[in-house]
Amino acid sequence: MNNRKNAYTEVYTILQDLNEEEYNKIPLEVIETIKENRNEEYEYFLDDELELKDQPMLLETKAILFNLFRDYLATPEQRIKIIRMQNEERQKNELRKQMMYNKDIFANTPKEKLTDNNNKTMQIVEYKESLFKKILNKIKSFFRKNR
């Protein structure tokens, strides 16, 4: 929880360092949300000697900045490239998960056993009336005849 608030502080500090044109590309509601959710007791300073990518920052900060860049600051070509890259990464992760967790549960079962069960046919069961049912039917038939 505290890391997220600290990340918002770092993001807010970095946004304050943007030029006016880039800063105005980000919706005011997004900036206000970042400002309201930051940890005001946490101090973060940018080193003017370092580029942004070399600044020490939390992983959460990098994720937030990446999303802000993708959604508001990137050119249309950059945005398409980023989205394509993210989709490829998701597909790789899904494939990795399938390889790890989608084990064939029938892998150890011999194929003959599986096919033997499939080839067997069910036999027809002959219906036999119980003794009580036979007596009841005889009594019923006796009354039907007498009508």
Q: What pLDDT is attached to residue 2?
A: 80
Q: What pLDDT is attached to residue 127?
A: 73
Q: What pLDDT is attached to residue 58?
A: 92
Q: What pLDDT is attached to residue 120?
A: 63
What residues in the chain have per-residue pLDDT under 50? none
Q: What pLDDT is attached to residue 84?
A: 93
Q: What is the pLDDT of residues 32-66, one digit of tens each?
A: 999 999 999 999 998 888 888 888 999 999 999 99
Phi, psi of 109, deg, nearest 5: -90, 125
What is d(CA 138, CA 90) in angstroms, rounded to the nearest whole number? 75
